[in-house]
């Protein structure tokens, strides 16, 4: 792979080309009015979410612990990447490991290869078949094109399948019709930044198109023990989205292509390239019932020289249908097929045996919802077959009661699994015999039985809240025994917790949010102590974390936004607790030009967020200047 370090000429040329294309098409200007900023908290609570039941429903009445990061939340934050935007969700743990890599989880089990959180971008599953988790440096977005991010804590296996154990992150971008015109966004600091250019135009009478280009460069982070980590790198990315048709019949085509990494590559700054293409058809059958047919192809190549030299290609096809039933009855059913070919080249540190493997998944599901007065009952199940363990059954039962004051009390019981990935069955360390770790040929699915009780509501138009108690009872968590170590299902136990947040808007120009997450893990070996131990995939999680966010509309078209978070200490390896503050000061210079000053870790105290002692990356104050121009 050639060096892709970005220079200013590349950015200017890309911006000029996009701007000329926009002028040639005489694109419409982007509408600035009518955004989420104009909605009260009561109205925001009634916005539709789709990730809980697979169909639009009110956020207030959804029987799950769900937090929505809106496009306005993202705009009014100091976030410069998708993982940084996810810090806005109080029910997620987001830990930065290096310049471009993150450990992200819900309800515990966070580590560099966190594998119990399902992440989707516009319906496309992005976890790696290598380890059932996400390489976050693969997945960059133009943040101005994100419509909302629905973050669900807890299981979603009935709709989304295995690996939706502790939560789902569903990133939903704007339609092509909502991104017409030309946008140029530049975010720079003394240690790197990014530039994005997007153009939107019409396709015939009923179609719209969006094109974008994205350039990213990150400087290396500092090591706690001194010196640099050598994790800086650059990346170029481009993509499109086309929406053809209207409400009754809509065809969506979208895709991305990217390439990044510099010499010399390493496991903190790998060389990478990839592409994806998605097609989705939404229409109605002859009886008027809606259905959706979606397929996508995804290619990821990652070469960090000394760990993963991986090439993964997968395709996925899904069908869902909602029959027309009498009022108060709703049924959603469907099925899907997925196939993934994964090849990891041997090196001195890691070997996968066999070197190449093709995995397949197939599923059918049905979910029925009954409404009786203020009560809502949901029952569903998915049968999913995977190449390693055969058929897994993923059922759920949910009940919700909507009180007269429009608050909702809900409860749920679910069974979900984390199916084996290649790293569970085929992983060997080091790369040549004699091995210290010699795979896990008998490793089975990790099973969770989850019980939840939640309350969501508000007081008037100015205060909304959500609180959820949960118990997640696990069997068959990954561990190891013997020598050489064999990966197996060696641990069990419970994870209990409380997640709560509230938003308060005392005046039209002021809004506050507070969130807290408490987690208690009681995990133990399911085998005798002398036979269990070695490697355990039990995560490194804080007992408590809280977040405070404030937004102020100031005179002269100026905005001030602040996010303060305190993350408790991590036990093993030990990482001290820290408090960090991110600030944004924004000014709307003209209706088409916004300028912002972004400050991350405003307090300036160097801290590690994840890692092991002196070898971990530490982060201190970083200041960006952002300019967004829309034509």
Q: Which residues contact 536 (CB under 8 A, 6 or more apart)?
A: 477, 478, 479, 480, 490, 491
Question: Average pLDDT for residues 534-556, to the nearest whole number?
Answer: 89
In a domain, 256, yes or no: yes
* pLDDT for residue 252: 97
Q: What is the pLDDT of residues 311-334, one digit of tens each?
A: 999 999 999 999 999 999 999 999
**Which pLDDT tens digit goes with each residue over 608-627?**
999 888 889 999 999 999 99
For the chain, how many structural domains are there in total? 1
Residue 59: the pLDDT is 85
CB atoms under 10 Å from CB of 9, counted, come to: 8
Q: Does 2 score more than 70 pLDDT?
A: no
108-125 pLDDT, tens digit each: 999 988 899 999 999 999
pLDDT(39) > 70: no
At 17, list the tokens: 């080309």
Size of the chain in residues: 631
**3 state DSSP class of 575:** strand
Residue 544 maps to a domain:
yes
Alpha carbon dihedral 430, 436, 440, 443, in 10-degree steps, equals -120
Query: Is residue 153 scored above 60 in pLDDT?
Result: yes
What is the structure's pLDDT at 532?
A: 54
Question: Is residue 391 exposed (0-12), middle (13-18) or buried (19+ Cβ within 10 Å)?
Answer: exposed
With vertex at residue 143, the alpha carbon angle to CA 140 and CA 145, rounded to the nearest 5 degrees, is: 110
Label the pairing between strands 446-459 and 437-438.
unpaired
pLDDT of residue 534: 57
| Rounded mean pLDDT, 510-524 | 96
Higher pLDDT, 430 or 528: 430
Q: Is residue 220 included in any domain, yes or no?
A: yes
Q: Is 1 among the domain residues?
A: no
Tokens of 397: 């039962």
Q: How far from 8 is each of 212, 271, 545, 563, CA to CA, in Å?
A: 17, 22, 40, 31
Q: Cα–Cα distances in Å, from 444 out to 56, 382, 424, 425?
A: 35, 18, 9, 9
Sheet of 167-173: strand order equals: 65-70, 146-153, 167-173, 117-121, 124-125
Task: Return the residue matching tokens 């516009």.
Answer: 122
Contact 479, 514 (CB under 8 A): no
Distance CA 234, CA 102 (A): 16
pLDDT tens by residue, 406-459: 899 999 999 999 999 999 999 999 999 899 999 999 999 999 999 999 999 998
Any domain includes 3? no
* Phi, psi angles (nearest 5°) of residue 522: -130, 85
pLDDT beyond 90 at 603: no
Calpha distance 417→363 (Å, rounded): 14
Q: What is the pLDDT of residues 230-252, one digit of tens each?
A: 999 999 999 999 999 987 899 99
pLDDT level of residue 127 (50, 70, 90 thresholds): confident
Q: Provide the domain limits for residue 562.
A: 8-630
Instruction: Return the beta strands (E) in 555-621 as ranges.
Output: 558-567, 570-571, 574-575, 578-590, 593-600, 607-608, 617-619
Per-chain mean pLDDT for the chain: 89
> Residues near 410 by Cβ (< 8 Å), separated by ≥ 6?
63, 64, 398, 399, 400, 401, 452, 453, 454, 455, 456
Which CATH number covers residue 80?
A: 2.40.170.20
Residue-level pLDDT at 13: 37
Residue 2 resides in a domain = no
Whether 186 maps to a domain, the answer reads yes
Establish if 273 belongs to a structural domain.
yes
Average pLDDT for residues 17-36, to the nearest whole number?
34
Residue 546: Cβ within 10 Å count: 18
Global pTM reads: 0.92
């Amino acid at each position: 792979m050639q060096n892709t370090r970005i220079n200013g000429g590349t950015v200017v040329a890309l911006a000029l080309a996009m701007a000329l294309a926009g002028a040639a098409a005489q694109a419409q200007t982007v509408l600035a009015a009518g955004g989420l900023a104009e909605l009260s908290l009561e109205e925001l609570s009634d916005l539709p979410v789709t990730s809980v039941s697979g169909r639009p429903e009110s956020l207030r009445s959804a029987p799950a612990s769900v937090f929505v990061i809106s496009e306005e939340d993202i705009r009014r934050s100091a976030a410069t990447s998708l993982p940084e935007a996810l810090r806005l969700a109080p029910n997620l743990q987001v830990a930065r490991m290096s310049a471009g890599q993150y450990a992200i989880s819900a309800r515990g089990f966070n580590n560099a290869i966190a594998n119990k959180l399902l992440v989707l971008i516009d319906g496309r599953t992005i976890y790696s078949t290598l380890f059932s988790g996400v390489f976050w440096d693969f997945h960059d977005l133009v943040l101005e094109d994100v419509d909302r991010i629905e973050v669900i804590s807890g299981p979603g296996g009935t709709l989304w399948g295995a690996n939706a154990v502790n939560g789902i992150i569903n990133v939903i971008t704007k339609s092509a019709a909502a991104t017409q015109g030309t946008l140029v966004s530049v975010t720079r600091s003394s240690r790197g930044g990014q530039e994005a250019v997007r153009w939107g135009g019409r396709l015939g009478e009923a179609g719209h198109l969006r094109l974008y280009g994205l350039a990213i460069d990150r400087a290396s982070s500092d090591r706690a023990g001194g010196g640099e980590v050598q994790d800086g790198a650059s990346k170029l990315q481009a993509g499109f989205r086309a929406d053809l048709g209207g409400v009754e019949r809509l065809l969506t085509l979208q895709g991305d292509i990217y390439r990044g990494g510099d010499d010399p590559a390493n496991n903190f700054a790998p060389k990478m390239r990839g592409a994806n293409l998605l097609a989705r058809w939404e229409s109605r059958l002859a009886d008027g019932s809606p259905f959706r047919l979606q397929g996508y192809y995804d290619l990821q190549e990652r070469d960090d020289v000394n760990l993963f030299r991986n090439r993964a290609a997968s395709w996925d096809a899904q069908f869902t249908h909602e029959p027309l039933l009498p009022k108060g009855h709703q049924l959603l059913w469907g099925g899907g097929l997925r196939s993934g070919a994964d090849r990891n080249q041997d090196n001195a540190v890691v070997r996968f045996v066999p070197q190449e493997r093709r995995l397949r998944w197939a599923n059918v599901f049905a979910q029925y919802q009954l409404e009786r007065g203020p009560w809502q009952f949901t029952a569903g199940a998915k049968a999913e077959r995977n190449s390693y363990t055969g058929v897994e059954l993923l059922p759920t039962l949910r009940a919700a009661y909507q009180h007269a004051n429009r608050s909702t009390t809900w409860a749920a019981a679910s069974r979900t699994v984390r199916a084996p990935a290649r790293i569970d069955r085929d992983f060997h360390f080091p790369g040549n015999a004699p091995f210290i770790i010699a795979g896990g040929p008998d490793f089975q699915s990790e099973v969770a039985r989850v019980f939840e009780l939640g309350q969501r509501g508000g007081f008037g138009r100015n205060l909304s809240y959500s609180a959820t108690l949960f118990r997640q009872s696990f069997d068959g968590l990954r561990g190891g025994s013997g020598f050489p170590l064999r990966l197996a299902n060696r641990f069990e136990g419970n994870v209990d917790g409380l997640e709560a947040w509230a938003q308060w808007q005392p005046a039209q120009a002021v809004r506050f949010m507070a969130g807290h997450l408490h987690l208690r893990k009681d995990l133990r070996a399911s085998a005798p102590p002398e036979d269990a131990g070695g490697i355990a995939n039990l995560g490194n999680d804080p007992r408590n974390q809280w977040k405070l966010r404030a937004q102020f509309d100031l005179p002269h078209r100026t905005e001030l936004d602040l996010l303060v978070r305190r993350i408790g200490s991590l036990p093993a390896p030990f990482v001290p607790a820290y408090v960090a503050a991110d600030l944004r000061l924004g000014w709307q210079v003209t209706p088409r030009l916004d300028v912002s000053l972004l400050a991350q870790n405003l307090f300036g105290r160097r801290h590690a967020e994840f890692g092991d002692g002196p070898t971990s990356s530490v982060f201190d104050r970083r200041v960006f200047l952002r300019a967004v121009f829309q034509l």
